[in-house]
Amino acid sequence: MIFSTPLIHGYLIKRYKRFLADIKLDNGQIVTAHCTNSGTMKSCLEDNAEVYLTPVNDPNRKTKFTWEMIKINNNWVGINTGNPNKLAFDAIKNKEIELLNNYNFVKREVKFEDSRFDIMAKNENETCFVEVKNVTLKDKNYALFPDAVSSRGKKHLETLVKVKKQGMRAVMLYIIQRIDVDIFAPAKEIDPEYAKTLIWAYNKGIEIIPIQAIVSPRKIVLGKQLPFEL
């Protein structure tokens, strides 16, 4: 995913009200950017850290910038929760994910019962539903999800099990937008119910695919698949 518009560099002053962040640009101007990440953003917030923003030319929007990434320990961490869905869709469509490279029809935002999954992929033999999650939480060398209690995430797991029971393929695709981790795991201390449900869903046949994303101010690309530990 190449950023179509050059990003704007600045420094984080503070994040507040979950969806807002004050940023000091290189020219000294202080702007308010939209933060798409509704979680705690624990382990990816640091005062005065370098950030990059996308300028938004929309007269109906109050904030004129979207916060894309932050530099933590000399590495860029992607915090825009919309980007993993784009990355996943393009990668599956272009057959760039080894475990999901045999589909000739790929569609975004497909409803199944009372849930809506990020991606549906099909070929002549099977249908696959994929739920994509953005991962930024780090503890030692672990990438963890979620960073706040996620009842919606738990519901997605439960519905994926229903998908599997109907004879279709069901996948949890975790896009990890940082490179300073080596293994993925559920955040048991933050959301024990999600962790327990993920283990249950895995035992019911739900596939878990954690993939690292390499984040830079010019582009975000998918890297290697990481192992996971339940």
Sign of CA dihedral 40, 46, 47, 48: negative
Domain 8-78 coded CATH 2.40.50.580: yes
Fold designation for 83-225:
Trna Endonuclease; Chain: A, domain 1 (3.40.1350)
pLDDT score of 202 more than 90: yes
- Rg over alpha carbons for the chain, rounded to the nearest Å, is 18
pLDDT score of 143 more than 90: yes
- Burial (CB count <10 Å: 0-12, 13-18, 19+), residue 87: buried
Give the whole-angstrom CA distance, residue 151 versus residue 33: 27
pLDDT score of 173 more than 90: yes
pLDDT score of 114 more than 90: no
The model's pTM = 0.95
Q: What percent of the chain has pLDDT over 90?
A: 94
pLDDT score of 104 more than 90: yes
The pair of structure tokens assigned to 41 is: 């953003």
Mean pLDDT of the chain: 96
pLDDT of residue 59: 86
User: DSSP E strands: which ranges in the chain?
Assistant: 8-16, 20-25, 30-34, 50-55, 65-72, 75-78, 105-112, 115-122, 127-135, 137-139, 142-145, 169-176, 183-186, 207-215, 220-225
DSSP label at residue 226: P
Average pLDDT, stretch 81-94? 96
pLDDT of residue 58: 87
pLDDT of residue 24: 98
Residue-wise pLDDT tens digits, 21-79: 999 999 999 999 999 998 899 999 999 999 999 999 888 889 999 999 999 999 999 99
- Rounded (5°) CA angle 53-37-45: 70
Cβ-based neighbours of 109, under 8 Å, separated by 6 or more:
116, 117, 118
pLDDT of residue 115: 84
**53 close to 64: Cβ distance less than 8 angstroms:** no
Q: CA 134 → CA 72, 102, 131, 211, distances in Å?
A: 17, 23, 10, 10
More confident residue, 58 or 182: 182
Average pLDDT, stretch 88-111? 95
What residue segments make up the domains of the chain, in order of their start? 8-78, 83-225
